[in-house]
Amino acid sequence: MSLVNEELSEPYSIFTYRYFVYIWPQLTFLAFDAKDGKCVGTVVCKMGEHRGSFRGYIAMLVVLKPYRGRGIATELVTRSIRVMMESGCEEVILVYFC
């Protein structure tokens, strides 16, 4: 939970993310430090119909600052997009808040 609280700028509540994880658990990926088992990154996504197409949506992507630049976010996004495309998504979007 501290990963989300410390690093995210998105204005969603934790309940929104819990809903995504509960409904689309196959679209949630975590990255851990192999040395100490600490969770250092995550991506949370959802899928659904949108204006006549089946769309994937990356709702949250975060990697702790000391772990950035190592390809962790790229791997998390790649895995989630792969699952969304295999599930029939025609497009995937990421909305960014700063």
d(CA 16, CA 87): 22
pLDDT at 1: 55
The mean pLDDT value for 32-45 works out to: 94
Query: What 3-state DSSP class applies to 19?
Result: helix
pTM of the model: 0.86
Scan for tokens 């809903």, then name that residue.
19
The per-residue pLDDT for range 60-97, each reduced to its tens digit, is 899 999 999 999 999 999 999 999 999 999 999 987 76
C-beta of residue 31 within 8 angstroms of C-beta of residue 39 = yes
Which is higher by pLDDT, 84 or 1? 84
